[in-house]
Amino acid sequence: MERWQKALDKSITRLEELAKHHPIDVGVLQPVVERYPMQVTRYYLNLVHEPNDPIWRQCVPDPRELREDHLPVDPLNEEALTPVPGLIHRYPDRVLLLVSSVCPTYCRFCLRKHRLGSQGSFNTVHFDQGLKYIERNSAVRDVILSGGDPFILSDELLEDILGRLRKIPHVEMIRINTRTPVTLPERITYHLCRMLKRYHPLYVNTHFNHLIEITPQSSEACAKLADAGIPLGNQTVLLKGVNDDPEMMKELMQKLLTIRVRPYYIHQMDLVKGTGHFRTSVEQGLKIIARLRGHTSGMATPYYVIDLPGGKGKVPILPDDMKRQGKTLLLRNYLGEVVEYPDGAGE
Q: Which of 90, 108, 175, 187 is catalytic?
A: 90
Within the chain, how many helices (H) and strands (E) appear?
Answer: 12, 12
Known catalytic residue at 91: yes
3-state helix, strand, coil in the chain (%, to 5): 35, 20, 45
Known catalytic residue at 103: yes
Q: Are strands 328-332 and 262-267 parallel, antiparallel or unpaired?
A: unpaired
Known catalytic residue at 307: yes
Q: Which of 149, 244, 270, 343 is catalytic?
A: 270
Q: Which of 36, 69, 107, 175 is catalytic?
A: 107
Q: Which of 74, 314, 341, 343 is catalytic?
A: 314
Known catalytic residue at 323: no
Known catalytic residue at 94: yes
Q: Which of 62, 69, 74, 103 is catalytic?
A: 103
Eight-state DSSP code of residue 169: T
For the purposes of burial, counting CB atoms within 10 Å of the CB of 268, is it exposed (0-12), middle (13-18) or buried (19 or more)? buried
For the purposes of burial, counting CB atoms within 10 Å of the CB of 119, is it exposed (0-12), middle (13-18) or buried (19 or more)? middle
Q: Which of 42, 64, 91, 262 is catalytic?
A: 91
- Enumerate the β-bridge partners of residue 234: 206, 263
Alpha carbon of residue 267 to chain centroid:
10
Known catalytic residue at 193: no
Answer for the pair 208, 182: CB distance below 8 angstroms, yes or no: yes
Q: Which of 149, 244, 307, 343 is catalytic?
A: 307
Answer for the pair 265, 236: CB distance below 8 angstroms, yes or no: yes
Q: Which of 44, 108, 110, 264 is catalytic?
A: 110
Known catalytic residue at 107: yes
Answer for the pair 310, 275: CB distance below 8 angstroms, yes or no: no
Known catalytic residue at 110: yes
Which residues are designated catalytic? 90-91, 94, 103, 107, 110, 112, 270, 307, 314
